[in-house]
Structures are given as structure tokens and as C-alpha cells.
Amino acid sequence: MKPFFRIIGLGLMLQFVFLGSTMAQILDSSYAQPIAAAPKKADKQLSAKAFIAPGILIGYGIWANNNHTLQSFNHSLQEALYTNRPHEKVHIDNYLQYTPAAFAIGLSCAGIKGKDNTKDIVFIYALSNVILNTSVQLVKHGSHQLRPDGSDYNSFPSGHTAEAFASAELLRMEYKDRSPGYGIAGYGVAAVTGYLRMYNNKHWLSDVLAGAGFGIASTKIAYWAYSKLRPHFYSKKKNEAFILPTYQQGNIGLAMVYRPQ
């Protein structure tokens, strides 16, 4: 079984190599072609079809926590990645998780228009993080799953991976009409982030897969929610009050915004 696990690890790392060339092609094509704004589309309905993949990922994670065979697979993979070959941990995953969203915002600021304007992208990303952190933290406390390194009981699901895939889905949603390469690049970074969480002995495979599901679903919900909130920001009414989610320094809350006459 060990060669099989090494192949899995090698495959994920090869995505990182492929990612570099993909992003280079994206940038070359972006500057070589005239820049035109992508058509605006409203996300006014939540499609069940859009949640099939996230649901499968989350479902696998939950099932793995209650299935002896899948738990054994978790442990076997972790032994191949870390236990049998202890190594120095890397910290680049702390930054990679935000890279796709930063790339999306950077492209928008540079004038390479996506689905939304820069202000909308920033707000959607913030809203996605509120949804993401609320759901992930609730599940972490409820599942009480021990990390592979035994450091605490906040293993399931992986927050870093959730953030990375939420970020990747934001990039895909914004620039999918320009080129599928943007989404491929973003998801490549997210996959590497998930792999590094296992490489650093911080998460089981089931934690990473479930985290990916939570991340993707959070961004999809954020787009739908923002389509409902957005008219309030551009309303011509002078007297208006509405409630917005907030996320600051790890604290989640609500804020009321009042716009007087």
C-alpha cells in the first residue's frame, strides 16, 4: 500500500508544477487579448446541482469518521506521509489558502474584469468567510476529532483547506467566462494546501475532503446571499437600515448599517 500513497502525494505535488505553467499561460493570454468585461449574471437561485460535489466531499468526511475501513485508510495514508518518515513542517499553507482570492481581487484591480466589480468581489469573499468560519467552527466543536499530531481536538474539518477551496471557487466564479484556466489554477493551489495539511500531520484525509466541501459550498451560498443584499447598496432610497455579517480577528457577529436621509 505504501507505493500507492506515495503516488497520491506525488500526484498532488505535480499539480503544483502544472499550476505554475497554467498561471503563466493565463497571464500571457490576459495581456495579449483586449480586455472586455464579462457579462453580469445574477445568482438569484440556489441550485441543488451546484451542491452535489460539496455534498459528496462533506458526506465522505462524516462517513469516514464513523467507518472503521475509512478510518484505517486515514491512518495508513498518514503513516506513509508523516509517521514513517518524520520531516520538518512547512508553513506555506498558511498563505496559500488565501492566494486564489487575492489573485481574483488583484486581477480586478488591474482592470481585468471578471463577473463582478472589485468592491463586490471583496464583499462576497468576506461574506463567504463569515459563512465558512461559522459552519467550520461549529462542526469542529461538535465533532471533537483528534488531530493526527495529537495537538488538539479541532481536526474535523480542515479550516485551512476550507478557506483555500472557498478562495478557489471565488476565482473560478469570477473568471470562468474568460477562461477555465483560472479555476484550474485556483483549485490547484487549493489541492496543494490540502495536501500540505496532511504533510504537516495536522489533518486526516477525511478532514481535508470535508473542508474542501465546506469551502466550495460557502462561496456558492455567499454569491446567492449577496445577490439579495446587493440592491440595498445601490438603492435610491435615502432612509435605509439593514443588517450585515461581520468577521474581525476571529470573531463573528452582525452589524446594523443605517443610512439616514
Residue with grid cell 472589485, as numbered in its chain: 118
CA atoms within 13 A on the CB side of 40: 7
The mean of the pLDDT values for the chain is: 83
Which residue in 106, 122, 100 sits closest to 22, CA to CA?
100
Residue 82 near residue 148, CB atoms below 8 Å: yes
Q: What is the mean pLDDT of residues 225-230?
A: 91
* pLDDT at site 169: 98
| Lowest mean pLDDT, pick from 19-28, 35-44, 65-74, 105-114 | 19-28
How much of the chain, in percent, has pLDDT values that exceed 90? Answer: 69
User: Could you tell me the pLDDT band of residue 24, with boundaries at 50, 70 and 90?
Assistant: very low
pTM recorded for the entire structure: 0.78
For residue 254, what pLDDT is reported?
59
Is the per-residue pLDDT at 193 higher than 70?
A: yes
pLDDT of 252 higher than 70: no
